[in-house]
Structure 1
Amino acid sequence: MTARSTRRTTAAHSRLAAVGAIAVAGALLLTGCGDQTENGDSGGSDTQSAGGAPLADKLPQSIRDKGTIKVGSDIAYAPVEFQGRTPAKTVGIDPDLADALGKQLGVKFEFENGTFDTLITGLRSKRYDIAMSAMTDTKDRQEGIDGDTGKKVGPGGDFVDYFTAGVSIYTKKGDDQGIKTWSDLCGKKLVVQRGTVSEDLAKAENEKCPAGKKISMQPFDNDQQAQTRLRAGGADAGSSDFPVAAYAVKTSGGGKDFELVGEQVEAAPYGIAVAKDNTQLRDALKAALDAVIANGEYKKIMDKWGVSEGAITEATVNGGK
């Protein structure tokens, strides 16, 4: 789920992201794939009873009564969330973090798979209580603005920010075709996941490309489909959030399929999306996130998945720009 939706950052942020990219890449290379996929399940995260949960009373009564928080998520975005080796198990950074939050709140987080670009709609229609899917917190999303048209399309949402990630470009291994920056994509074929910041960045770059050398974009419903297209030789490059691109480089074909090119750009926060009118749930999630940061569970999860460079030190609401 590439760093989802348009990001606006400064050059300084991009430079910091590039430094983080080097460190995270090293961490990912040291992180095994073995038992990481054995935690979590598609029904949600295992939690202790509400009686032992210190922050249970912060939740809305309706959530406490049903004992669950329904999570909309595009479960095809390793290592953030994806299907584990055991059938019906959802694993990754988000499910592990949801498990830790659930222990604080005394509820079970139930992940429901959906196409990424429909998650906000599902949140608006109350199909989900929250959306947690490597979703970038942006002003447009907070205000319900369509990034392409600039028009208001909904009430927007609030975001509890829990991670920071940038965007990377990757190519087939040993065949980078001279691609190092986004401008090098002019005249190339690029695969992306639909509705993501990678698609937005490619559209913006395309406007700068000279006539006759436009980027040929191929958007897919999920990142795995995009990777399959690139692997088969149907494109020159792919783009997704750095943690996802780095994980694909490390694991696809035993590390023989892809390579990262250039620097990570557009560092921005991932946020847990909550409906604007559900401020009590938003504040409960923020309190729970601060608690798992303070007790060390958050750091353990970031270290486990090799993404500690994207870790935060304090939960923030609507920190996206």
Structure 2
Amino acid sequence: MTASTTRRTTAARSRIAAVGAIAVAGALLLTGCGDQTKSKDSGGKDGASKSTAPLADKLPQAIRDKGVIKVGSDIAYAPVEFKDDSGKVVGIDPDLAEAMGKQLGVKFEFQNATFDTLIGGLASKRYDIAMSAMTDTKDRQEGIDGDTGKKVGAGVDFVDYFTAGVSLYTNKGDTKGIKTWDDLCGKTMAVQRNTFSHDLAKDQAKKCTDAGKKTLKVEEFDTNPEAETRMRSKGADVVSADFPIAAYSVKNSGGGKYFEIVGEQVEAGPYGIAVAKGNDELRDALQAAVQALIDNGEYKKIIEKWGVEDGAITEAKINGGS
């Protein structure tokens, strides 16, 4: 299926999903976002000692002194980051953060927040970084609101660490004839607010209207689980999310009985670790850590653990998104 729109352009871009199949078993504990509380799980038990961490000297001295990198994250987005049945923060991002911590000699401390507040949290220095399946885009790099074309902030830099695409999914056995984005005219979509899927949905609604067809009604929610609940209650026909999230929900929700993916994923692009503009030393240290994991094979092990090998990268680029 071809994309209904060009790659995400709004300033509050969302996460784009993995191109690999999800091979994760076990039930997903869906948790709400936005409490801004620190997770007891820090992405690494104690971090690596500075004496054994090969890249510790690349970090800013202030972070080395604290021994902690504060991570803003929407921890309700399995399998990228979520809480397991014990309340521990797990997923692709926490595993990568733990491995990076060993390279840098610090702990990565995940703090829960709604996705649309993460970049603001960087600007206010609530977090040192945002790591939350966030798509690296030019608009985000430049602090541009793609809907208005106006500059709304200083922008952020990204260290890219994964590649992903977007999927549509419906209640199982009730696809409403949806196979492509062009089939969405006259339907109702539930979607997480300020995500790439939200942007695609708004663009598709306009496309339907411009073509003289019934419009796509878009209902927005703070979290993807809320969007799924809306669809489960028959209030919406379809949900759009990053492919790994969609695939995880299809596999695990209701023991695999609730949802099904329709059509093919679209709009593949890079996930990036977001760092506030001007924080070049931290940005470069993170890039070195990700590249070290790629080079030493730890990255491959983590990606394979979560069954998303097709989204793997070979080079940790800075601001590689378009």
Same fold (TM over 0.5): yes
Matched residue, 1:138: 137
Mapping of residues 208-219 of structure 1, within 5 Å? 208-210=207-209, 211=212, 213-219=214-220
Amino acid at match of 1:297: E
Name the structure 1 match of 2:13: none
Gapped regions of structure 1 (runs ≥ 5): 1-5, 10-16, 35-39
Residue 85 (structure 1) shift? 1.1
Contact 1:171 1:237 in 2 (8 A): yes
Structural mapping, 1:228-307, within 5 Å: 228-307=229-308
The one-letter code of the counterpart of 1:134 is A
8 Å CA contact 2:249–2:259 kept in 1: the answer is yes
Aligned to 1:176: 175
Query: 1:7 offset after TM fit, Å?
Result: 2.4
Q: Choose which of 25, 28, 32 in structure 2 pairs with 1:32.
A: 25
For residues 50 and 99 of structure 1, the distance between their equivalents in structure 2, rounded to whole angstroms, comes to 15
Question: What is the CA-CA distance between 1:212 and the residue it aligns to?
Answer: 5.9
Of the structure 1 ranges 276-285 and 207-216, higher mean CA displacement relative to structure 2 is found in 207-216
1:3 is matched with: none
Question: Which amino acid counterpart does residue 76 of structure 1 have in structure 2?
Answer: A
For 1:194 and 1:82, how far apart are their aligned partners in 2? 18
Q: Is the 8 A contact 2:287 2:318 kept in 1?
A: yes
Match of 2:30 in 1: none
CA contact (8 A) 2:177 2:183 kept: yes
List per-residue Cα deviations over 1:65-85 (Å, max 9, x = no partner).
000000000000000001111
- Partner Cα separation in structure 1 for residue 179 and residue 320 of structure 2: 30
Q: How many residues align?
A: 300
Counterpart AA for 2:25: G
The residue type paired with residue 122 of structure 2 is L
Distance (whole Å) between structure 2 residues aligned to residue 136 and residue 115 of structure 1 = 15
- The residue that corresponds to 1:13 in the other structure is none
RMSD: 2.2
Larger mean Cα displacement after TM superposition, 296-305 or 212-221: 212-221
Match of 2:12 in 1: none
Moved more, 41-50 or 288-297: 41-50
Look up the SS of the partner of 1:110 in the other structure: strand
> What CA distance in whole angstroms lies between the structure 2 residues aligned with 1:31 and 1:229?
24
Aligned mates of 2:244, 2:42 — CA distance in 1: 24
Preserved contact between residue 42 and residue 112 of structure 1 (Cα < 8 Å) = no
Q: CA deviation at 1:33?
A: 2.8
Contact preservation (8 Å) 2:8, 2:196:
no
* Aligned counterpart, 2:90: 91
- Equivalence for 1:72: 72
Give the equivalent residue in structure 2 for 1:108. 107
Question: Given that residues 158 and 317 in structure 1 are in contact (C-alpha distance below 8 angstroms), is that contact kept between their aligned partners in structure 2?
Answer: yes
Deviation at 1:50, TM superposition (A): 1.4
Counting aligned pairs with the same residue, the percent is 69
In 2: Cα distance, 1:260 partner to 1:41 partner: 34
One-letter code aligned to 2:231: L
Tell me how far apart the structure 1 counterparts of residues 296 and 266 of structure 2 sit (CA, whole Å).
31
Alignment of 1:193-232 (within 5 A): 193-210=192-209, 211=212, 213-232=214-233
Residue 136 of structure 1 deviates from its aligned partner by: 0.3
Larger relative helix fraction: 1
Query: What CA distance in whole angstroms lies between the structure 2 residues aligned with 1:263 and 1:220?
Result: 24
Moved more, 43-52 or 98-107: 43-52
What is the identity, as a one-letter code, of the residue corresponding to 1:85? D
Contact 1:76 1:224 in 2 (8 A): yes
Give the secondary structure class of the aligned counterpart of 1:289.
helix
CA distance in 2, matches of 1:317, 1:178: 41
Contact in 1 for aligned 2:83/2:90 (Cα 8 Å) = yes
Report the alpha carbon displacement of residue 306 of structure 1 after superposing the two structures with TM: 0.8
Q: Where does 1:6-45 land on structure 2 (aligned, <5 Å)? A: 7=7, 21=19, 24-25=20-21, 28=22, 30-33=23-26, 41-45=40-44
* Amino acid in the other structure paired with 1:232: S
Residue of structure 2 in register with 1:320 after alignment: 321
The Cα of 1:232 is off from its aligned counterpart by 1.6
Listed as ranges, the matches of 1:186-197 within 5 Å are: 186-197=185-196
Mapped partners of 1:8, 1:194: distance in 2: 14
Q: Which amino acid aligns with 1:75?
A: I
Q: Which runs of 5+ in 2 are unaligned?
A: 1-5, 10-15, 28-38
Tell me if structure 2 keeps the 8 A contact 1:41–1:91. no
Aligned partners of 2:24, 2:8: CA distance in 1, in Å? Answer: 31
CA distance in 1, matches of 2:300, 2:131: 19
Residue identity matched to 1:50: K
8 A contact 1:182–1:205 mirrored in 2 = yes
Shift of 1:8: 5.2
Deviates more, 1:203-212 or 1:214-223: 203-212
